A and B are shown apart, each in its own frame.
Chain A
Amino acid sequence: MIEKIAEKIKETALAAVDALLDFQEGAEANCFPWPARCMIAMVICMTTAFLAECLIFQLPSVRYKSAPLSFYGENALVDIPGTFTVFCEKSLVELDEEEAKSIQVERNSRKILENYLGEEQEEKQDDTLVEKADGSFWRRVNVITFSVRLPKARYVKKLDLRLHDSLTGSCGYSVKSFLDTEKAMETTYCSIDPKTKAGIANLGCLTDQLEISIMTADDIQPSDVVFTLSNQFAPNGMRILWVFFVMLTVAVLIEFRYPITKKLEWCFALGAFIIGLLLILGIGTNQVSYDEHVHAKAAYKLSFGSRIETTESAMQMNGNQLPMFHNPEERALVEQYEDENHDYSWADIGFQSRFVRTEDRVYYPLAAGFWLGRMLHLSFAATVALAKMCNLLCYIVVCFFAIRLAKRYQELVCMVALLPNSIFLAASISYDMIVNSFLLLGCVLLYNEFLEPDEKVEWYRLLPMLMCFVIGSLSKPIYVIMVGMFLFLGKKKFRNPLQEWVCKISVLILIGLMLYNIFRPLPVAGSDYNMVGDFALAGDKRNVGASVTGQVQYILSNPVSYAMLLLSQMGSLLFSYVLGGKGFFQYGYVGESPMLATWGAGALAILLAILKPQPDPEERYQWEKGHVNLGAKNRALTILMCFGLTAVIWTSMYVSYTAVGADTIKGVQGRYFTPLFLPALLCFLGDKKSGNMGRCGRNRLAWGLMVFMNLSMIWRLIICVYNV
């Protein structure tokens, strides 16, 4: 049987290769017009993807075909007498670091509120919580263990466990599987959300004995539990789509030479759309991005006028309370739950000012998606996906122009725009998309001026440049410092000294005003006016002991020790990314790429910057006429700007996020430095020839590497974790 299937796969693969070669030959001979080539490529890719899914991933379902087996509970199919044993016990389980921290944060917030209001605040009673003398937190749980012996070995792809009783808190279960008394696989853990009351574990093993232990703080009975063992043939849409996109990327790299060489911005748009689409579809409503619920709340509110209608599902999204899924079966349950609770007839009604504050304007793309989803009466999951899609499209459009306008360094801009961190944020509910895209476009416009020192600054370049920096810095004003490089443009760039000075002073005041707003924000309309205006209360409440005034006083009284701390922390983060085994490329809280990927992309970007491509007479930008690099002075200034801004970012996190006087700086993440990548890379711009490699090879390398890196991360972190 297996040999036959293997033979079939081999035949199909050979047929696909032949078809590709024929296609290549046909294309080279210009037999087909380009739309036909695209169509043929799409059909081949789709067929291959579907065949791969059916013949490779669904193989166990075909080989070990069996009907689902359900047992225990009301609808028990107890046709195997004497094979069950049930054992109940009570136990203590230590809370993980995150749960323990959230309890401490809640206590600290209560203390702050008590100090502010002068009133004692009640603590929520949790009888299952145990605090030990060493400060660790434990929870009392009931453990129900089912031991199931099957009459004969069967392949179990999924274990579907459902509870008929209501749960008040999350619980989980572990599964140990055995075959001939030997362990068939490592212990599998699965959580059960109280909202869906189900937990579906992926086993994927041949077994004749299972040991299922349910741990819960609730008092549930064994008869409330139903579990089903299944091995159904179920083609996975996400996997088919992924294989299809991989094939499509290969086709673009091999076949579509012209767009890769001449229209890199279009290739970027295609790559970013593919990656973003996979991320949006694969992640669904799981909230795995940085502070996603905070952004979701702001964007959701913005999608309304003055009257806000918040459905139960939206409220749970805003409070980071939506149930998570880990496979398509759980996803169906979660989405069903979300739709049941996404009913505007019993939505919570609130009101807000029609005037949109500056810092909320960065949510317009997301808000447009939420609004459109509501107008089209889409399901909750589809509405969230549409909001993310609007965010992604906005990112693609802005970066499209950044790549198009970049001169000799298009491939570098393309690499930065395709960074996994940036694409992930663009395909999430986050305003960082605005920061990354607009600052990238702003930097391109700014550094174009440095690369053309003899051309005057024109209004049609300066206006979009300044607007890009302002929009990019709306939510994180510190980045506006980057436009400070404008002050170092030469005299030749201006028409006369008066215009030069007035222009530069205006830009300087612009920077000053945006930074001033950090320290003296405009008053908000609402009851938190005093809280916002009171500097003594400023500081991120997610971290115990954070206080802006306290930390500023500490830094001012210990400047030398703080400088040492700052440098050591900056150095250690850099070391961890370069040699310490930490991957820079991250998909939020989902996971990161191996360090090798950071090295590969970093080395390629630097090489592409240093080496000059072969001149092409048809090139859109004749950069050979202008300067090929920034020059020593501008390089030094750029490095200084990058270093200074990095130090400011670290200091801002120390001041606002870290406990006063702490010997470490908390909360700094690699993504904060993404806007600095392009200026840093431009410092390497050189004029060394790159041998025979022309624009096409360079673009293929840059685009191909970034797209494949993203696709591999999607496979490992999104598809294997949430979609199988």
Chain B
Amino acid sequence: MGTHKNKNTKRKKWVNLIFPLLTLFCLAGFIGSLIFPNYVLDTYIVNMEEEEGDTMVLLPLSYDAPITLKIDTKGRPMKGVQLGIRKRGGDQSGQILVYDVYAGDAKVSENRYDIASGDDGQYVYLPFANYEQCTGQIAVKLQLAGEGKRLSPEQTAALEANHRKSEDIETVLYEGCLAEGECSLRGSHIYTHATYPFLYDARILTFIFLAVSMTLSFKGKEG
């Protein structure tokens, strides 16, 4: 009998300790989730298919003048773009794609990509350094640089495009670019946003455990 009573007292002691501790643990999780969110990428496929009757066009990159991709991000910082790059059989070693980002007239992000590192026709993710600044009406200027051999316009790497137009996006070609009519780059626009994976559980459990803690018998507090 005495042992049974002792066991009960011990169990009660543990319960009295566990629930308040669980409440605090979940509260810490709640606050922690808010302070340290998880960031994920948002991919928006833009202009990936041709309209009926349209065919894909290739826009060769130039060493002298950029192809400009103008995008209105509508206030969201843009993390990068994903563009289809064709190597067209040329030796691309040492060919560097420079894609700087401008917000208004100010250059906000300087970026480089080694064209030889990707596969032919691959939709390459081109992240923007300092992406927090890449917001609003931005312009991505894409052109070639590097110490590689200068290739003819037929052999230089080219970007995939079609003739479909999208709102808030414009592709400006350099003078002499071999493309008929108005073209738009094919690809995806990458944004980022915070997710709070444990926030929902942590905040719900905090209040469940707090409510449960209030049913415990703490010595001397009985009404």
Contact = CB atoms under 8 A, between A and B. Distances in A.
Given A499-B215, A523-B193, A525-B195, A510 B200 contact: no
A510 B208 contact: yes
A118 B211 CA distance: 50
Given A513-B207, A527-B42, A499 B194 contact: no
Contacts, number: 98
Contacts of A513: 203-204, 207
B167 A470 contact: no
B214 A506 contact: yes
Interface in A467-526: 467, 470, 494-500, 502-503, 506-507, 509-510, 513-514, 517, 522-526
A496 B223 contact: yes
B42 A529 contact: yes
Interface string B176-218: 0000000000000001011111011101100110111111111
B16 to A, nearest CB: 9
Nearest to B51: A122
Contacts of B191: 529
A355 interface: yes
B216 A459 contact: yes
Given A459-B19, A510-B208, A499 B214 contact: yes
A119 B167 contact: yes
Interface string B148-172: 0000000000000000111110000
B43 interface: yes
A513 B207 CA distance: 10
B221 interface: yes
Nearest to A486: B211
B44 A466 contact: no
Given A117-B167, A495-B222, A502-B210, A522 B200 contact: yes
A470 B207 CA distance: 11
A119 B166 contact: yes
B166 A118 contact: yes
B208 A458 contact: no
B31 interface: no
A358 interface: yes
Contacts of A502: 210-211, 214
A510 B167 contact: no
B211 A466 contact: yes
B106 interface: no
B17 interface: no
B201 A358 contact: yes
A548 B213 CA distance: 39
Interface string B10-26: 00000100010000000
B207 A494 contact: no
Among B42, B166, B221, B222, the one with the most A-chain Cβ atoms within 10 Å of its Cβ is B42
Nearest to B40: A525
B105 interface: no
Contacts of A52: none
A327 B201 CA distance: 46
A523 B204 contact: no
Contacts of A494: 214-215, 223
A522 B212 contact: no
B147 interface: no
B52 interface: yes
A234 interface: no
B207 A358 contact: no
Interface in A334-369: 353, 355, 358
A462 B44 CA distance: 46
Contact of A457 (B19, B197, B215): B215
A503 B211 CA distance: 4
A463 B212 contact: yes
Nearest to A361: B201
A562 to B, nearest CB: 31
Contacts of B216: 459
Interface in A318-345: none
B196 A522 contact: yes
Contact of A510 (B19, B204, B223): B204
Given A119-B167, A456-B215, A510 B207 contact: yes
B201 to A, nearest CB: 7
Given A495-B222, A523-B194, A529-B193, A462 B204 contact: no
Contact of B44 (A119, A509, A527): A527
Contact of B208 (A467, A523, A527, A529): A467
Contacts of A462: 211-212, 215
A495 B201 CA distance: 28
B207 A507 contact: yes
Nearest to A470: B204
A514 B204 contact: yes
Contacts of B215: 456-459, 462, 494-495, 499, 503
Contacts of A458: 215
Contacts of B213: 459
Contact of B212 (A358, A459, A497): A459
B211 A506 contact: yes
A495 B216 CA distance: 8
B133 to A, nearest CB: 21
Nearest to B197: A355
A210 B218 CA distance: 85
Contact of A526 (B42, B164, B197): B42
A355 B42 CA distance: 16
Contacts of B45: 527
A490 to B, nearest CB: 13
Interface in A432-468: 456-459, 462-463, 466-467
29 contacts: A355-B197, A358-B201, A459-B215, A462-B211, A462-B212, A466-B212, A494-B215, A494-B223, A495-B215, A495-B217, A495-B221, A495-B223, A496-B221, A499-B215, A499-B221, A502-B214, A503-B210, A506-B210, A506-B211, A507-B207, A507-B211, A522-B195, A523-B193, A523-B195, A525-B195, A526-B42, A529-B42, A529-B193, A530-B42
Interface of A: 117-119, 122, 353, 355, 358, 456-459, 462-463, 466-467, 470, 494-500, 502-503, 506-507, 509-510, 513-514, 517, 522-527, 529-530
Given A503-B215, A524-B195, A529-B193, 20 more contacts: A117-B167, A118-B166, A118-B168, A119-B165, A119-B166, A458-B215, A459-B15, A462-B212, A466-B211, A470-B208, A495-B223, A503-B210, A506-B210, A506-B211, A510-B207, A513-B203, A514-B204, A522-B196, A523-B194, A525-B195
What 7 A-B pairs are tightest by C-beta distance, nearest first? A118-B167, A496-B223, A503-B214, A506-B211, A525-B40, A499-B214, A510-B207
